[in-house]
Amino acid sequence: WWSEPRVDEGWTKKLIYEVLPNLKLTCFGAVETPDTPRAMAREYGKDFAIQATILNFFLPKTVPFINSGQEIFELQPMNLGLDNTEDGRYLLEPSDPMYGKLAFFDYYSLHWNSDDDMLDTIEIVSKIRMENLDLLRHGGIKYLFKDDKDIVALFYWNGEKGLLVLSNFNYKEHKNLFVDLGYYTWKEKHEVLWKIKNRHFFNSIWNVGTTMEVILAPGEIYIAQIE
C-alpha cells in the first residue's frame, strides 16, 4: 500500500522486482487499507486504481486484498492513520453528506449509488487467479524488462503452460514491447490466450512464434495464458 502508489518515484517497480522476491513470508497484495488513502485518491486516480487492483491478484508471494469500497472507487478514507494528512478527510464535494467524515469514528456509508465499479473485473481476475493458482505458487517466475522503470512484466512458466502479466505504469506514453517467449519456454510456437485487457474480459487467441509484439497504452494492463 505504501510502495505501489509511488509510481514516478520508482517504488512500484522496486517493490515487485526487488522486495517481494526476497520475502520469506506471504504478504497482502494491497493498494489501500482501512488506515491509508484510497487508491482512487492517489496520483493517476481511477487508472491507477484499476491497474493496481488487477495486478495484485498476480504478484509473487502475495494474497490479494480488497479494502471495502475499493471496488466502487470510494474516494474517502476510513482513517488518516497511515501516509495521510488532515486534508485527506476532505476529498468529497462539500455537498456530500459524508464530507469530512471518517468511517472509523463517524456515521458513514459507502457510495453504492456510484455509476462505475470494478465488481465484474474483480470477479474475472479472481477466477483467473484460482485457475492458475498452482502456477502462481509453484511455477518459475521471470521478471521481464528490468531496465524499464515503467513496465511491470511477469512470466510464470512451469514447462508446459504459463501466465503472462504486462503492465505499463507510464500514464503519458505508449510502450512497444517485444516479448521473447521462446527464450524462456524453448518453444518455437506459442498459443497466447488473452484474458484481461485493462478492466475487461478479453477473449482473444494469438498464435505466435518465439517473439510477439505488444503495444501497451498509458496505464494499460494485459493478462494472458500461454501454451
Cross-strand bridge partners of residue 178? 213
Share of the chain above pLDDT 70, in %: 100
Q: With contact defined as beta carbons under 8 Å apart, do 21 and 10 qualify?
A: no
- Our separate counts of H helices and E strands in the chain read 5, 10
202: pLDDT strictly greater than 90:
no
Helix, strand, coil share (%) of the chain residues, nearest 5: 25, 25, 50
* Helix H or strand E encompassing 223: strand 221-226
Distance CA 157, CA 138 (A): 9
Kindly list the distances between the CA atom of residue 64 and the CA atoms of 1, 24, 93, 162, in Å, as whole numbers in the listed order: 12, 17, 31, 20
C-alpha cell at 54: 488487477
Query: pLDDT tens digits for 51-84?
Result: 999 999 999 999 999 999 999 999 999 999 999 9
* CB distance 40 to 49 below 8 Å: yes
Q: Which pLDDT score, from 0 to 100, does residue 134 have?
A: 93
- Write down the pLDDT at residue 139: 80
Amino acid 114: pLDDT? 85
Segment 186-214 shows an average pLDDT of 91
Strand ranges (E), 127-220: 140-144, 151-157, 162-168, 175-180, 190-197, 200-208, 211-216
pTM: 0.94
> Residue 136 and residue 217: Cα distance in Å, rounded?
26
pLDDT of residue 126: 96
pLDDT at residue 55, as a whole number:
97
pLDDT tens digits along 128-178: 999 999 999 888 999 999 999 999 999 999 999 999 999 999 999 999 999
